[in-house]
Amino acid sequence: MRRAAVGKSVQTMGNAAEGVPDETLLAGLGAGDADLAVAFVRRFQRVVFGVALSVTRDAVTAEDVAQQAFEQAWRHAQVYDSRRGTVRAWLTTITHNLAIDVLRARTSAPVDPAELPALLTAVTDTPERVAVARDSAAGVRRALAELPSTQARAVAMAGIYGMTARQIAATEEIPLGTAKTRIRDGMLKLRAAFLPEDVGDE
Amino acid sequence: MSEMNAMNCAEFGDVAAELALGVLTGRERADALAHLEHCDACRERVRQLTATGEQLLALLPAAEPPAGFETRVMERLGLAEPSRRPVRPPRERARGRAGTKRTFGKINSGTRRMLAAAAVAVVVAGSVLGGWGLHAAASAPAKPALTTAALLSADHQNAGEVFLYNGDPRWMYMSVDLDDSGNGTVTCQLIGADGRVTNVGSFRLSDGYGSWGSPSWVGGSALVGARLLAANGTVLATASFPKLSRTYPADSA
């Protein structure tokens, strides 16, 4: 009976939550409100699962990571700080960190290098991805595309798959110093591309 | 350790990106974190690079989770039935300039990125804070037992927030925004109901802004407040706690 009631309210909430700010849903999740919590999960589950799947490349593992991510969001909703970034970014980072943990526990080779070009290029142009793309993602893609490909790969390996410079060096068959330089130079260029003009004023 | 081994800003610049991405390891990481403790410019540099790294994650495409995912999440959270607890209104959060607010995490591989960000915001001996840091989760989640209190300056202006988590494990966190306090080390004290004052930690303010946390705190449920002291002992701000509890009041019903 209760389930039926929940289902009804959840359905209602799912529909009605469209205009509810992310922060409000997060606050509801943190407060243990089932309706707001399910609306939160519904709003972000594709993003969270997508991050988990992209990094772990295994649907079962990705589901576990995604569930953990929502659990962490629930536990820590109270300390989310909107000044630090959006709820989406916060949740994405939570998910990514959990996924990296899984990767590192699983294997010494976090990513098959053959998959990297696909990652770097495929995010740009499939209809589904375009549909979910946000302005910030478009900017990131543009900035990444302007990097030398070796730097873009190094940045993606480190930033997305959590690979150390040593692992990148081994994967790319380059000296360690070269791997470190590629990460550094790539990231500095990306930072310059992303930063607003007034950075440094704060 | 010694000055001879200390990393300078140029050397730090070579590894800042790795630190920000959470992939710097070993001695280099230790040296880099040590450098950050006393270099505001490099902390800012890492903060920017950390933000850059986070933006990379926007590239990861969304994907439809398996059927039943939503239900399984709700069950995992123990929210499959209607909550008996009232929804507390979202706190006022947008206040002033950009800053950081963090919780705790055990040091493990996946939290390195968070730790790098943590080093930007806080320097806490023996504790670990993260950019979007998380306490490493166990299995079944416990009910939240978070108490928040506003930090008020001597002239009763809002100067930040204090968070006390009276769960297992306990932790506390403080974010400070004192416009005119400049840079300097401040000390956090907890005040017991019996008037007893305990120093629980020190941290640095940068342009009046800073944050700090500790993985534990003393005083049980008998704490009545906290205060922030300048290096010369001046009380900069105070906070009064409501009665601490391990569960929300509605849970006792």
In a domain, A165, yes or no: yes
Please state the rounded mean pLDDT for residues B121-131: 30
The 8-class DSSP code of residue A108 comes to S
Taking Cα atoms as reference points, which of B181, B54, B178, B170 lies closest to residue B116? B54
Contact list in B for residue A97 (CB cut-off 8 A) is 22, 110-111, 113-114, 132, 134
To the nearest whole Å, the CA of B241 is away from the closest chain A CA by 16
Q: pLDDT at residue A30 above 70? A: yes
Q: Do B124 and B228 have their domain in common? A: no
Q: Do A102 and A83 have their domain in common? A: yes
Reported ipTM = 0.80
Q: pLDDT at residue A187 above 90? A: yes
Q: Do A102 and A115 have their domain in common? A: no
Q: How many CB pairs under 8 A join A and B?
A: 280
In a domain, B122, yes or no: yes
CA B143 – CA A30 distance, rounded (Å):
10
What pLDDT was estimated at residue A68? 96
| Model pLDDT for residues B50-90, shown as the tens digit of each residue | 999 998 898 888 999 999 999 999 999 988 754 443 333 33
Please state the rounded mean pLDDT for residues B175-198: 78
Taking CB atoms and an 8 Å limit, are A164 and B135 in contact across chains? no
In a domain, A202, yes or no: no
Q: Do A122 and A79 have their domain in common? A: no
| Model pLDDT for residues B19-31, shown as the tens digit of each residue | 999 999 889 999 9
To the nearest whole Å, the CA of A114 is away from the closest chain B CA by 17
Q: How many domains does chain A have?
A: 2
In a domain, B182, yes or no: yes
Q: How many domains does chain B have?
A: 2
Q: pLDDT at residue A65 above 90? A: yes
Taking CB atoms and an 8 Å limit, are A84 and B72 in contact across chains? no
**Residue B220 banded pLDDT, cuts 50, 70, 90:** low
Q: Do B49 and B166 have their domain in common? A: no
Taking CB atoms and an 8 Å limit, are A92 and B57 in contact across chains? yes
CATH for B222: 2.60.40
Contact list in B for residue A180 (CB cut-off 8 A) is 14-15, 18
To the nearest whole Å, the CA of A9 is away from the closest chain B CA by 9
CATH for A161: 1.10.10.10
| Sign for the pseudo-dihedral over CA of A170, A173, A178, A183 | negative
Q: pLDDT at residue B250 above 60? A: no
Q: Do A186 and A117 have their domain in common? A: yes
Taking CB atoms and an 8 Å limit, are B76 and A71 in contact across chains? yes
Q: Do B30 and B142 have their domain in common? A: no
To the nearest whole Å, the CA of B70 is away from the closest chain A CA by 6
- Residue B23: domain span: 1-57+99-137
What pLDDT was estimated at residue A63? 96
What pLDDT was estimated at residue B169? 55
- Residue A140: domain span: 111-197
